[in-house]
Chains A and B, each alone.
Chain A
């Protein structure tokens, strides 16, 4: 089945620890995105990548880092510098053709205590 997978579904960490969220897609999509979703805030863009080995900051990149070494993978690291890391994290992807349809993974719920 083609799609986007995110793991784990739930993640718990202690404050001060870095944590990496996985995102993999087998849709052969060029562009990949990370969003953060908080209650009442909608989706906010953290980072995006349009091609391998290239990525750009979104609206709320502080405290986060990414890499894009392979087309199908776009991991997100939540560092200890992120002040409020507890949130629902969503990965998405789309092709770079004229279609702007973007598809989402199932999400990772990160809780930091």
Chain B
């Protein structure tokens, strides 16, 4: 079982739809969770960062963490064509275990049509 699982999609939605992107993980030591947005041939851009279980909202984006289920989600409200990108979840534990960097999901490709 991989440490982080993320459905690669592709996911296609019409403009204005609510998008739900998800990741599951197996390591209960993970405590820090991030979502990155990556446009084609660009570096990933940090979108959301959460530490605890619950919801965190930033504009049209809501990050949700359920540590009991080892499940994280990113919701995008009123999706726009400019949201078309690959979304990567990432996570890590409370310490730099073996000095590792973040553990990433493989990314979900989202396409929003106008």
Contact = CB atoms under 8 A, between A and B. Distances in A.
Decide whether A and B are members of one complex.
yes
Interface of A: 4, 6, 33, 35, 40-43, 45, 48, 50, 56, 58, 88, 90, 92, 99-107, 109
The size bracket of the interface on B is: 20 to 34
B14 to A, nearest CB: 26
14 contacts: A33-B101, A41-B106, A42-B104, A43-B88, A43-B104, A45-B101, A48-B100, A99-B49, A101-B34, A101-B49, A102-B46, A107-B41, A107-B42, A109-B41
Interface string B33-48: 0101000011111100
A8 B42 CA distance: 13
The binding surface of chain A is classed by DSSP as: strand
B41 A88 contact: yes
